Amino acid sequence: MTERIDLAAVMERLAGAEDILLLCHKNPDGDTLGSAGALYWALTALGKRAAIFCSDPVTERYDYMQLGLYDGSWEPKYVAAIDVAGIQLFGEGAAQYLKRVDLCIDHHPSNSGYADATLLEPEAAATAEIIYLLICRMEVEFTPVMADCLYTGVSTDTGCFKFANTTPRTHHIAAELMERGAHFVHLNELLFESKSQRRLAIEQTALSHLEYHFGGRCALMYVSRDEILQTGADSNDLEGITSIPRMIEGVVVGVTMRQLESGSYKVSVRTAGEIDACKICAALGGGGHMRAAGCEFFGNLENAKAAVLAEVEKQI
């Protein structure tokens, strides 16, 4: 059973910690990387040795955050998970840390409480909001690179402030990050207004597999591992296509399925109205938020589709 703690307790624990490893979730997005990145820079400013670990490669797209990735040259004494709702999200590369997570900072309501201590704020639009409040209490200079990291987390987890999870506090924090030096014009263009040729290729492939279910209220599309390899799409390209099915007129549940290297399928669900994406994915061993959730299905494509659609039908 995890101990639920607040910002003050997190500050106290980090102040007493040394050789800190910050764990991100696999298939890293802007929130897990931006939140870990900002905290890495804050801890470094305090004179602590810290590093970031992710099971999957971090794409060059995020180079501007200057992430201090773990090189294995020292042994972590304190392990903190950032924006990771459950141990299944760490990936195989982090297996050696699963039983020694000292702290988790997260905003997912589905957090399983795997860490010794957890700071959980489900009302936060992004974990980056929590990290921002934390760093503001730390006796460090708030630098532009920290602001860039946190703006990345807040903006990507809210779809550039368009998703329903966006709150007045989200906008206030974004404004303060702008005042603290976030290069928001460049970041908005990079994160939301530019697509690689690989991204367009994987979109075209996924749309070729688009299906409608339940009278057009659910749209589902999928891509195989071979198709992903053929387009050369990376994790950011793949993450970017998950919102497409829900954007279709009349669709209240959008499902995107992509095959992983292991053969299993990563399922991303986006919903509208009163339909809870988290309930759909939780029934399949995953979790997330009401409007956006995910899970992993071990089986062939047809079985995966059948399982997901059965849960969608219960909600529709």
User: Where along the chain do its domains lie?
Assistant: 3-192, 197-315
Helix, strand or coil, per DSSP, at residue 207: helix
The rounded distance, in Å, linking the Cα atoms of 183 and 161 is 16
Cβ–Cβ under 8 Å, residues 253 and 315: yes
Considering the four listed CATH numbers 3.30.70.980, 3.90.1640.10, 3.40.640.10, 3.40.50.970, the one that applies to the domain covering 3-192 is 3.90.1640.10
7-15 vs 127-137: helix crossing angle, rounded to 10: 60
Global confidence as pTM: 0.89
Query: What whole-number distance in Å separates Cα of residue 83 and Cα of residue 64?
Result: 20
Whole-Å CA distances, 257 to 139, 220, 267, 306: 44, 8, 5, 12
| Nearest CA-CA partner of 127 in 85, 186, 190 | 85
Phi, psi for 35 (deg, rounded to 5): -65, -45
* pLDDT tens across the length of the chain (316 residues): 899 999 999 999 999 999 999 999 998 999 999 999 999 999 999 999 999 999 999 988 999 999 999 999 999 999 999 999 999 999 888 989 988 999 999 999 999 999 999 999 999 999 999 999 999 999 999 999 999 999 999 999 999 999 889 999 999 999 999 999 999 999 999 999 988 899 999 999 999 999 999 999 999 999 999 999 999 998 878 888 999 999 999 999 999 999 998 999 999 999 999 999 999 999 999 988 899 999 999 999 999 999 999 999 999 9
Fold entry, domain 197-315: Diaminopimelate Epimerase; Chain A, domain 1 (3.10.310)
Q: How far is CA 18 from CA 5, 47, 106, 132, in A?
A: 20, 10, 21, 21
